[in-house]
Amino acid sequence: MILTSIQIISRVFGYPWPAFLELSELAISIFAFLGVAFAQRMDAHIRMELLVANLKGRVKWIIEFIATFCAFIVIGILIYFSSLFAIDAYVIGDSTMDYLFPTWPAKMLVPIGFAIWFLRLFLELIGYFRLAVNIDSEPMYVPIIKTAEELANEEIESIRE
């Protein structure tokens, strides 16, 4: 965002950065696809909390396991097809139109990001299975949904510090 602001200001004064648009398009894969596993870890993805938050015990962990398993399958499929896409870009020598930057490095980040997410989902599957089998065990590898009250208290504590 800072670089985009600098680009706008430099264009106003008649000195645009060459290839800025192409480089920013290629950089999107760095921020979008490499961050999905972290978002999964932090439980920042969109989910049906109204349903899941009200479940308790073994039923909750089984539902979480099933949902995570579905995501695991989908991400596995996305890894396969995005890898084919990236390999194809490398083989044909795909590049941007104006400055001929190769696109395959950015395209290869997509399956890498999905693979990291895939591993994160695998860890969560282990954690949810463990909790479904033994509901008294301590949650491990799984994000814990916080109540609105817990989130508000954390926010208050962060302001006090």
Residue range(s) defining the domain that contains residue 95? 28-160
Please report whether residue 154 resides in a domain.
Answer: yes
Please report whether residue 96 resides in a domain.
Answer: yes
Q: What is the pTM of this model?
A: 0.82
Q: Which of 74, 71, 72, 107 is nearest to 88 (CA)?
A: 107
Domain count for the chain: 1
Side chain identity at residue 95, one-letter code: S
Q: Which tens digits make up the pLDDT trace of 39-63?
A: 888 877 777 777 777 888 899 999 9
Give the per-residue pLDDT at 126.
98
Give the per-residue pLDDT at 112.
95
Q: Which of 52, 32, 35, 37 is nearest to 124 (CA)?
A: 37
Give the per-residue pLDDT at 86.
96
Give the per-residue pLDDT at 64.
93
Contact 51, 90 (CB under 8 A): no
Which residues in the chain come in under a pLDDT of 70?
A: none
